[in-house]
């Protein structure tokens, strides 16, 4: 009979796997706690300590480190290896199911002690995984419950395929590598330098049809962006990029907010008491660019907002939100090609960003913030009015999500003009003014970085801007302040730049 060895901390799916193997007449070995779990499910199992005639010692620190176990894993089908097993009274082990002590979960607790962290460094489990993975030509190694059903199905249909064995071995070595990296990171107080990624979806193509593309996740079994695609065709490479940009923007607002993104650039952002009230001004900010764009919302998408989209005959590629009401799904189902991506929460994870460059990768922390508003400075003689303050706060949040050199014009809590992605800032002011048209009169302006010259302030004044918010810090700040004063504009410095390249 074939033999399976179980030693798991996470017992998810274990009973179903073991019952399936038992029906195929497998024998079971297991470490103490796992053996007790299987017995409680009514399954026969021999404890490793009884099999090796060597009891667990050191409070469980040594359980499976024994020649009868590792010989059974590493033995090849050769006569010599089989004779060695017979000499020590051991037998081949054909499948290993192991997951490791929850080290990462343990050290993530704010109150964890060094002693607790040390005790959660798995030794025997890592050795089992590596031995089984090394001998993948004969041994199947399972480190993730998500792989249990597929392997059981293959066994029920004649045996695990060689390509599956190899894939699982590669996954096992990646698992132990990431585990060791997490230990190194904790003990050295360093940030882990090894990236562990899991394939989510092979995409039809990349940015263009001649480019191959794949979506990966930090979490095995995850959906796109950690969400669930409820409707529509599979997401494309460009869809995913735009969804990411829209989601990062919308979750930075606390009030009900709608963000519309096209080609990685916001073309409309608005907040209101409800999503249905926020959607029209977001669309009105740049309705031409919004055609074929992405809509993001930071509240569950409702029937009223869905109705407005249909009434406007707004062609949308995707909508991303933390859930969709039954009414919204019923209405949006009319647009069969429209993708709906439901997100589990409003988090941005991880708090690191990566970008590939030629022969390397750049990493940076996510741009999360600003100093408190109490540290902002009014640098003109005229302070902003209460109405301008409201618009400036919104504009400062919105400008952080547009491509540099970013300029946004805002009325109340809605963008009316966005200029971004140009090599010089004054052109972005002109683009924002052109998009805003008459709505620029009485609007406020935000700039993601300082003005090197007063020309942007002059262009803003021509458009009818009454107040400006920007980081400050230029050697010629005094010239921009003087230009603002000359046009009776209020100006606020935040002290923080928000480039987005």
Catalytic residues: 134, 263
Closest CA to 135 of 185, 183, 85: 85
Handedness of CA 129, 192, 242, 330 (dihedral sign): positive
Handedness of CA 244, 249, 253, 257 (dihedral sign): negative
Cβ 4 vs Cβ 96: under 8 Å:
yes
Q: Which two tokens stand for residue 104?
A: 């990462």
* Dist. CA 305–CA 325, nearest whole Å: 11
Cβ 29 vs Cβ 5: under 8 Å:
yes
Instruction: Give the largest Cα separation in the chain, rounded.
Output: 96
> Could you give the strand order of the β-sheet that contains 407-411, starting from the edge strand earlier in sequence?
228-231, 339-342, 316-321, 293-297, 257-262, 265-271, 414-419, 407-411, 444-447, 467-470, 490-493, 377-378
> For 261-288, what is the HEC assignment?
EECCEEEEEEECCCHHHHHHHHHHCCHH
Alpha-carbon 108 to chain mean position: 18
Q: Which two tokens stand for residue 376?
A: 């902002």
Cα–Cα distance list, 153 to 98, 156, 159 (Å) = 19, 5, 9
* Dist. CA 153–CA 158, nearest whole Å: 9
Closest CA to 341 of 364, 316, 360, 324: 324
According to DSSP, the residues that pair with 360 across neighbouring strands are: 357
Q: Which two tokens stand for residue 230?
A: 């409820």
3-state helix, strand, coil in the chain (%, to 5): 40, 20, 40
Cα–Cα distance list, 86 to 50, 73, 80, 260 (Å) = 17, 14, 10, 69
Q: What are phi and psi of 276, to 5 degrees?
A: -60, -30
Using alpha carbons only, what angle is made at residue 460 by residues 456 and 466, rounded to the nearest 5 degrees?
A: 135
* CB atoms closer than 10 angstroms to residue 420: 22
The DSSP annotation for 288-338 comes to HHHTTEEEEESS-B-HHHHHHHHHTT--EEEEEES-B-HHHHHHHTTSTT-
């Amino acid at each position: 009979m074939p033999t399976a060895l179980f030693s798991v901390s996470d017992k998810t799916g274990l009973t179903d796997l073991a019952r399936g193997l038992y029906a195929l007449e497998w024998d079971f070995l297991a470490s103490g706690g796992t053996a007790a779990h299987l017995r409680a499910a009514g399954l026969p199992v021999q404890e490793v300590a009884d099999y090796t005639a060597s009891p667990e010692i050191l409070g469980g620190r040594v359980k499976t480190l024994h020649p009868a176990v590792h010989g059974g894993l590493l033995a090849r089908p050769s006569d010599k290896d089989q004779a060695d097993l017979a000499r020590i009274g051991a037998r081949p082990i054909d499948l290993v199911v192991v997951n490791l002590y929850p080290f990462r979960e343990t050290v993530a607790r704010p109150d964890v002690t060094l002693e607790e962290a040390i005790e959660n460094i798995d030794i025997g489990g890592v050795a089992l995984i590596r031995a089984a993975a090394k001998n993948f030509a004969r041994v199947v190694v399972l480190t993730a419950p998500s792989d249990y059903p597929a392997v059981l199905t293959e066994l029920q249909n004649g045996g695990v395929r060689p390509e599956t064995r190899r894939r699982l071995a590669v996954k096992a070595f990646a698992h132990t590598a990431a585990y060791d990296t997490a230990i190194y990171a904790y003990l050295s107080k360093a940030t882990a330098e090894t990236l562990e990624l899991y394939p989510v979806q092979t995409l039809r193509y990349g940015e263009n049809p001649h480019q191959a593309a794949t979506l990966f996740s930090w979490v095995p079994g995850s959906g796109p962006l950690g969400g669930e695609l409820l409707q529509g065709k599979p997401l494309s490479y460009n869809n995913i990029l735009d969804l990411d940009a829209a989601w990062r923007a919308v979750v930075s607002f606390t009030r009900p907010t709608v963000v519309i993104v096209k080609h990685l650039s916001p073309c409309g952002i608005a907040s209101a008491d409800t999503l249905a009230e926020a959607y029209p001004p977001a669309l009105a900010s740049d309705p031409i660019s919004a055609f074929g764009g992405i809509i993001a919302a930071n509240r569950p998408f409702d029937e009223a907002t869905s109705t407005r989209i249909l009434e406007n005959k707004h062609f949308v590629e995707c909508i991303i939100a933390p859930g969709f009401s039954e009414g919204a799904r019923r209405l949006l189902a009319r647009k069969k090609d429209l993708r709906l991506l439901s997100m589990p929460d409003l988090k941005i994870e991880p708090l690191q960003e990566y970008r590939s460059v030629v022969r390397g990768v750049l990493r940076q922390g996510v741009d999360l913030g600003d100093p408190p508003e109490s540290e902002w400075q009014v640098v003109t003689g005229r302070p902003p009015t209460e109405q301008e303050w409201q618009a400036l706060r919104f504009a400062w949040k919105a400008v952080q999500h547009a491509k540099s050199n970013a300029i946004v014009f805002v009325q109340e809590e809605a963008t009316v003009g966005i200029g971004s992605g140009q090599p010089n800032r004054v052109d972005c002011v002109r683009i924002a003014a052109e998009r805003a048209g008459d709505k620029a009169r009485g609007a406020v302006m935000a700039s993601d970085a300082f003005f090197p010259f007063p020309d942007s302030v002059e262009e803003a004044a021509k458009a009818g801007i009454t107040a400006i918010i920007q980081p400050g810090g230029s050697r010629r700040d005094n010239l921009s302040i003087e230009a603002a004063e000359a046009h009776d504009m209020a100006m606020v410095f935040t002290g923080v730049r928000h480039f987005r390249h």
